[in-house]
Structure 1
Amino acid sequence: MFMTETEITVRYAETDKMGVVYHANYLIWCEVARTDFIEKAGFHYADMEAAGIISPVININLNYKQSVTYPEKVIVKSWIESYSKLRTIYGYEIVNAAGVVVADGTSTHVLLKRGSDRPVRLDRYFPEWHDKYIELSER
């Protein structure tokens, strides 16, 4: 399985008064890791958006297992959990410096033409991206 690892250093602004990372920041870390995954696969969200296609999150699920505090470093692992022409589910695992999984989850994405609510197929707009995702999801 093709998996990327993205290091995140906890910033003070991401924590509450107790120094614990606020739960919504994990979502941002997953987005950073997903963007890194896409770039390491050879593509860029910016190219997709320049072509008038957006990729909104339609579902996200995170399981919090252990707190992360300032100034820890974590690794966000990301991969393709599931792929079809209309939908991609990315998997995530957030691991602390001791190797403990502190959170895991998935995010589900579709593609839309900007201004439309109707999903479009990745293979029709970005065939190279589609072929690569087929390859990566089969590993």
Structure 2
Amino acid sequence: MNIKPYSRKAHYYETDQMGIIHHANYIHWLEEARVDFMEQIGFGYDRAVSSGIDFALLGVSCEYKSMVRFNDIVEIRVSFASLTPVQMTVRYQITDVESGKLRAVGESRHCYFDSNKKRLVSLKKVLPELYDLFASFSPEEGAKE
């Protein structure tokens, strides 16, 4: 399956007093890209949530390489750094569309959470279809148990 990068135009309201995108907005962009990735693989975030599964955030990081300014268009590539039945680490690469220059790299770590029972679950057991989709994009191909 060919996954397209998530494309995003930087808005004026996202800038700070220096005219660059405020650092907090990058975290929002990572989430937007992750949700877009799930839609592209055919298992939207809303479908997972309606199945009673959510992705509890355990940690997020973003390393800024160069500035994004108002009206810049960036692409965000999503990949898996790791995947297990109980958690995943998603990697992001933000690049400028026009120049190809790397703007930021990030990661988010999530566990799988049953929102009805209020407990952690094995995605491989409760939503094997989604786990298998994720595994097909994982460098370990879901090998970690």
Query: TM above 0.5, one fold?
Result: yes
2:62 corresponding residue in structure 1: 62
SS in 1 for 2:137: helix
Give runs of ≥4 in structure 1 deviating > 6 Å: none
Q: CA deviation at 1:51?
A: 2.1
Does 25-34 or 3-12 show the bigger shift?
3-12
Q: Is the 8 A contact 1:89 1:109 kept in 2?
A: yes
**Structure 2 stretches of 5 or more lacking a match?**
none
Question: How many aligned positions are there?
Answer: 139
Q: Is the 8 A contact 1:2 1:79 kept in 2?
A: no
Q: Which structure ranks higher in relative contact order (CA pairs < 8 Å, sequence separation ≥ 6)?
A: 1
1:17 corresponding residue in structure 2: 17
RMSD: 1.8
Q: CA deviation at 1:27?
A: 0.5
1:33 aligned partner, one-letter code: A
Q: Is the 8 A contact 2:58 2:110 kept in 1?
A: yes
Change (3 A) 1:121 1:4: farther
SS in 2 for 1:89: strand
Q: Is the 8 A contact 2:112 2:123 kept in 1?
A: yes
Q: CA deviation at 1:109?
A: 0.7
Partners of 2:28 and 2:4 in 1: CA distance: 16
1:55-134 aligned within 5 A: 55-96=55-96, 97-114=98-115, 118-134=119-135
Aligned-pair identity in percent equals 30
Deviations 1:70-117 (A, max 9, x none): 111111111111111001111100001211111001100111122665
**Structure 1 stretches of 5 or more lacking a match?**
none
SS in 1 for 2:6: strand
